[in-house]
Amino acid sequence: MSDKAAVEEVPLGTTAKPSFLARVKAHFKKWWWAHLIALAVIVLVIALPLVYVGYPRIAQGDINDSTLDVTSMEISDPSPDGFHLNQKQVIGSGSTFKPKLFSFDADVSLLGSSKFAKVTVPEVQGRDGYVVDIDQWVDLSSVEDFEAFSIAVMMNEEFKLNIYGEPRLKLGALPTIDIDYNKTITMKGLNKLNGFKIEKLGLNTDLGQGRNAEGTVLIPNPSVLTLTMGNLTLDVSSNGTKLGQSFLDDLVLRPGDNHVPMTSFLNISTLAGLLPGDGIMPLTIVGNSSVYNGEPISYFTKALQANTLNTNVNLSAVLG
């Protein structure tokens, strides 16, 4: 047996097997475009639902959670089928997002009732404390529903106003989307004019127009409403006996206490016959009509007729 070491022959033309990293590198070098497409597809699969599903849901949720506080509402220049509206309201929002809401038309109604008008809401920024100003003429789409609204304002301590529209919303570079805006606002009403009283009353036969007495009444207004109501006629009676009528001319009812001049036509002989021994007579006052620029204003008239005012007045000084 030979003592020489055996020599292993290596076939010519073979190379060492590439490492794993080298194979990966070669794969990506050859197929980079396919992986780029796959990455784009994955990004789209994730991003599109966020943009077109998640973003609208988040935006709608923030709108639903926001609040609207009406700080003033003025109704002026009333006509039988419309009025001028000047209203300020403040947006409340706890969201970190501050989207833009484009101008939109909103239906307005007493909660649970049909709409009585449509108002145009200007473009607003959906951030906390943003003040929205509405200053426009409003045509009533339903005078009957606005009459019901006016009665609710007159007769209740609070009332609920519903505003509904479908504005478009945009946040930064994200697409513009449609959302629902449906807000119910709780506002203070006139509370039956609780606290009304005749502060002063005296005879004056020089007034003309058949009027023979004048004085001052106190009309409290606990709401943020300013109402141009025109010329009011009120029926006055005592214990079911008609005594005459009182008149509040060019009445503008403002928030707070209103000290308003009043004139009256009173049946003096009837008053004298009913006058109690202490001179203090109970009076019942009910609205008869509201007229502005010579036109009857039914929605104010209905509200006045719905409310009965009871007060006492010392007539002994009036009658001497």
* Helix, coil or strand: residue 6: coil
Res 9 pLDDT > 80: no
Res 29 pLDDT > 70: no
In the 8-state DSSP scheme, what is residue 50? Answer: I
249 within a domain of the structure (yes/no): yes
List pLDDT tens digits, range 242-269: 999 999 999 999 999 999 999 999 998 9
* End-of-domain residue from the set 149, 166, 189: 189
Which of 159-163, 170-174, 298-302 is least confident?
170-174
What pLDDT score was predicted for residue 320? 54
Residues 294, 220 share a domain = yes
pLDDT tier at 126 (50, 70, 90 boundaries)?
confident
Which has the closest alpha carbon to 68: 1, 148, 128, 139? 128
- Distance between CA atoms of residues 284 and 196, nearest Å: 11
Average pLDDT over residues 103-115: 96
96 within a domain of the structure (yes/no): yes
User: Are 163 and 187 within 8 A, CB to CB?
Assistant: no
* Helix, coil or strand: residue 102: coil
Residues 202, 180 share a domain = no
Res 31 pLDDT > 70: no
Which domain CATH number covers 203?
A: 2.60.40
Res 146 pLDDT > 90: yes
Mean pLDDT of the chain: 87
The H helix count followed by the E strand count for the chain is: 6, 19
Better-scored residue on pLDDT, 98 or 141: 141
Residues 185, 205 share a domain = no
Domain that holds residue 99: 65-189
Residues 309, 273 share a domain = yes
104 within a domain of the structure (yes/no): yes
23 within a domain of the structure (yes/no): no
What pLDDT score was predicted for residue 173? 80
- Distance between CA atoms of residues 228 and 85, nearest Å: 11
Counting residues of the chain whose pLDDT is more than 70, the rounded percentage is 82
pLDDT tier at 157 (50, 70, 90 boundaries)?
very high
Res 234 pLDDT > 70: yes
17 within a domain of the structure (yes/no): no
- Give the alpha-carbon dihedral of 177, 160, 251, 133, to 10 degrees: -20
In the 8-state DSSP scheme, what is residue 51? Answer: I
How many domains does the structure of the chain reveal?
2
Average pLDDT over residues 58-72: 91
Average pLDDT over residues 15-37: 57
* End-of-domain residue from the set 142, 174, 189: 189
Residues 199, 153 share a domain = no
Which of 52-56, 141-145, 200-204, 208-212 is least confident?
52-56
85 within a domain of the structure (yes/no): yes
Burial of 274 (0-12, 13-18, 19+ CB in 10 A): middle
What pLDDT score was predicted for residue 279? 85
Residues 179, 270 share a domain = no
* End-of-domain residue from the set 173, 189, 205: 189
What pLDDT score was predicted for residue 72? 98
Residues 300, 227 share a domain = yes
Better-scored residue on pLDDT, 274 or 39: 274
83 within a domain of the structure (yes/no): yes
Residues 216, 107 share a domain = no
What pLDDT score was predicted for residue 35? 47
